[in-house]
Amino acid sequence: MYSKYLIEIKTRIILLITIWICLIIIYWLYKDTIIYILMKPCINIKIQDSKQYFIYTNVNELFKYYFKNSVLLTNISIIPLLILELIIFLNPSFYYKEYDRNNKLYSVLIIICITNIILVNKIIIPITWNFFLSFSNNNYTQFFFEAKIIEYFEMIYNLYYITSVIILVFVSICYYTIKYRKIINNKRKYIYLFLFTLASIVTPPDVSSQLLLGTLFIVIFETLSIIVLFVKMI
């Protein structure tokens, strides 16, 4: 009885492994294009009247980065496919409402991913880059900045991670604020504790950054609570 399910699981695992290998090859073949796309938000920013450029300090550093980047992008790309395969496999056991809910959740996940990419590339990276480079404009001392390719991409992926977590928290707060408004009103202090804990996880070990992000989460939460209350009154 269970043999057909085991065969299906085996088939899906083989399919995912095949896709994973193919994605690594594709990302490796188009590594230059991917590097350009990731660099594009800041590559035209001028520093001391010259365009931004990047350096590497070890002979094999660039090769290691290309390979690491291909594997990392593959792992990120395979996650939605893994979730989709899991949903397709479990769908026959769901009721219609559960099936509909899973489809909506998956759609929200895809929208979050697309929004995150656009937000980081078009807004956050240029603003972050300009903010930190503004400190090099000193009236008394000249500073020269040379960006290291590995450190730049570590910063980029950290921004993607932090932004995706913030968007996910924002969407979750919207959903649960609407669905469990009365319970949330009675458990506010625990929600505040959770939001500050989340802020301490997604930010560097800097108290001011954690307090700032935690406060931002609370402001968003309270704003959503007011909006939900207003909608209920209407």
| pLDDT averaged per 10 residues in sequence order, the chain, 234 residues | 75 89 91 82 62 74 84 86 82 77 78 80 77 69 73 81 77 68 70 80 70 79 68 55
Give the position of tokens 């505040």: 192
Of 160, 162, 171, 169, nearest to 108 by C-alpha is 171
> In the prediction, which pLDDT does 213 show?
77
What is the structure's pLDDT at 232? 57
Write down the pLDDT at residue 210: 74
The two tokens of residue 157 are 């992926």
User: Can you tell me the distance from the alpha carbon of 199 to that of 201, in angstroms, rounded to the nearest whole number?
Assistant: 5
Amino acid 203: pLDDT: 66
What are the structure tokens assigned to 202, written together?
Answer: 């997604």
pTM: 0.66
User: How open is the CA angle 200-164-54, to the nearest 5 degrees?
Assistant: 95
pLDDT of residue 21: 92
Q: How many angstroms from the chain centroid is the CA of residue 103?
A: 21
The H-or-E segment that residue 186 falls in is helix 181-186
Q: Which residues contact 62 (CB under 8 A, 6 or more apart)?
A: 56, 149
Q: Which helix (H) or strand (E) holds 68?
A: helix 61-90
SS3 95: coil
